[in-house]
């Protein structure tokens, strides 16, 4: 099983897969206060409950990453916890994910989400509408970001 976590400014999205075509669980968790501490506790509960074979996270080490320092710190804390649990951690940059999906002529986050719904129709009810430039990102998009991480893992590692 592979578990992907996608932290956001309001919590995190997650996706658990047993194989590239077998999603087991997915969702979002909203965290309002003490975000890193509470997010880390929720992620620990997911890891303890599911016992994934691998944890997939975004690699924020690229200079071009747009992640804030709080999210980068949280990703580091999540990776540290997984390593303490002897769970391998695999990281992919957003540019690497886009590179993988570009093989399918997909270039935007919304196109990635649409393709995921085509491949995994059970996720279609969760797809947010395409956002306008002035809109903030819908929190459900973090589910598709997490799924994209997992699918990138299966595409590259399996």
Residue 137: φ, ψ to 5°: -70, 135
Using N-to-C axis directions, what is the helix angle for 94-102 and 109-119, rounded to 10°?
60
pLDDT digit string, tens, across residues 93-106? 888 999 999 988 99
pLDDT value of residue 67: 67
Give the span between the Cα atoms of 156 and 79, in whole angstroms.
20
What is the Cα Rg of the chain in Å? 15
The pair of structure tokens assigned to 46 is 């997911």
Q: Which residues of the chain have pLDDT under 70?
A: 33, 62-67
pLDDT at 64: 57
- Amino acid 63: pLDDT: 57
The domain spanning residue 83 has which CATH number?
A: 3.30.420.10
- What's the pLDDT at 131? 82
Domains in the chain, number: 1
Q: pLDDT value at position 78? A: 92
Q: Which domain holds residue 112?
A: 2-157
Beta-strand (E) ranges in 52-124?
Answer: 54-58, 89-92
């Amino acid at each position: 099983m592979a578990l992907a976590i996608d932290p956001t400014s309001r919590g995190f999205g997650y996706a658990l897969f047993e194989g590239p075509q077998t999603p087991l669980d997915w969702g979002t968790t909203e965290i309002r206060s003490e975000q890193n501490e509470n997010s880390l506790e929720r992620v620990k509960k997911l890891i303890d409950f599911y016992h994934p074979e691998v944890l997939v996270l975004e690699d924020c080490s690229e200079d071009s990453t747009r992640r804030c320092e709080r999210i980068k710190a949280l990703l580091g804390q999540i990776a540290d916890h997984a390593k303490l649990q002897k769970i391998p951690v695999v990281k992919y940059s957003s540019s690497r994910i886009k590179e993988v999906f570009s093989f399918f002529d997909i270039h935007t986050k919304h196109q990635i989400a649409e393709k995921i719904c085509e491949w995994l129709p059970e996720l279609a009810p969760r797809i947010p509408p395409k956002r306008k430039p002035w809109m903030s990102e819908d929190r459900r998009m973090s589910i598709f970001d997490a799924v994209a991480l997992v699918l990138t893992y299966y595409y590259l590692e399996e």
